[in-house]
Amino acid sequence: MGQRQAERFIEALRWLMFPDQHPGVFSHLQALEGQGRDGRPAQVTPTGATWSVSYADGTSIEGTLTEIANEILEGRFQPTAAVVRPNLAEALYKAAVWQAQESTVALWRAQTGQFEESDDPDDDAEAMTGAEAEADDSFEIILVWTYLERASFRALMSVVFAVATAEAQLNTWSLLRGGWSSGPKGDEDRLDPAEKVKALTRKWNKRIDYGDPAWSWFCEAVANRHGIVHSKPEVERVPIGGGSTVGAERETEKARRACLGVRGVLIAVAKAMGVEPPRYLAMAPPGDPADPRPWATAVVLTGVRDDPDFPKTTEWLKQTKRATELSERLQPPT
């Protein structure tokens, strides 16, 4: 195998092994295009738990990842391009939760004076019980202000990413009913995410619980995001008193509410539609957004902590394996 062929084999294998986690491309693999030994078009497509190679002469081969990789390795299928569909929702939500986590930790550092950063997130989680920081000198005051600024800035980014997640996921789900519609009342695609939730559930003749706290947090996040991306120089009044961290505390909690609001609403919409909620929503630790402690390790404990909506990763893998084995046993004989 020549170097060019080897590079293509490795790249194709990466796509097959990680169809929705390809570095630098926030998309989900739909197919691999290429050609057979005769130079005519050929294509690899997923078929449930297996893969299928279709050749121009009408023949096709269905097999496991190893069997398809062997087709490529022996030169019967020569990949030239990956056909992908954009799937930004997961990447956006991870960014949202990550920024909320970092905002929470930065605020805690400003409040406690714990300025030495550890490589182990568990150290921060265990230490987030300290007392208020006492700024003894100007250098410490500068550090406090630096972390307060960091907390506020990351909180702002978290809100934007969280609402962008919701819109990306709702747009994807709309395709299950032919996409957003246009009519005398306007174009559904131009609605804000909160209105898109209502438009989407109407397509299934369903409603979600608009009295749930998650809906309130979600609508707040949509309004905050609108204020960020369409900001205007309007005069505001900031109360004096209560300590220098009040503003950052408010913004950081808004970020956590945004992440949990998006999580709760998307889970509710998925259930209304009768589809599985996206597992990436487990990145946000469930619970009260006013409690900052779970957020010190929000991302790193994804799939490990107890979650009422998502099984732990080990249990999920067992369920997936059992489902795959069952589907294989139920396949009719050929």
Give pLDDT, residue 13: 77
Give pLDDT, residue 133: 44
Domain boundaries, the chain: 3-86, 89-231+242-302
Percent of the chain with pLDDT over 70: 82
Question: Do 148 and 127 contact (CB within 8 A), yes or no?
Answer: no
In this prediction, residue 231 has a pLDDT band, given cuts at 50, 70 and 90, of: confident
Residue 168 three-state SS: helix
Q: What is the pLDDT of residues 297-324, one digit of tens each?
A: 998 888 889 999 998 877 655 655 554 5
Give 5 or 255, the one with higher predicted confidence.
Answer: 255
Structure tokens, 175: 């395709």
Please report the sign of the dihedral spanned by the C-alpha atoms of residue 100, residue 316, residue 272, residue 331: positive
Q: How far apart are CA 72 and CA 2, in angstroms?
A: 13
Which are the contacts of 22, defined by CB distance < 8 A and separation ≥ 6? 14, 15, 29, 82, 84
pTM over 0.75: no
Give pLDDT, residue 72: 85
Structure tokens, 250: 């408010």
Question: Which of 44-53, 86-95, 200-209 is least confident?
Answer: 44-53
Q: How far apart are CA 1 and CA 73, in angstroms?
A: 8
In this prediction, residue 127 has a pLDDT band, given cuts at 50, 70 and 90, of: low
pLDDT over 50 (residue 240): yes
- In 104-243, at which residue ranges do the beta strands (DSSP E only) sit? 182-183, 186-187
Please report the sign of the dihedral spanned by the C-alpha atoms of residue 119, residue 122, residue 126, residue 131: positive
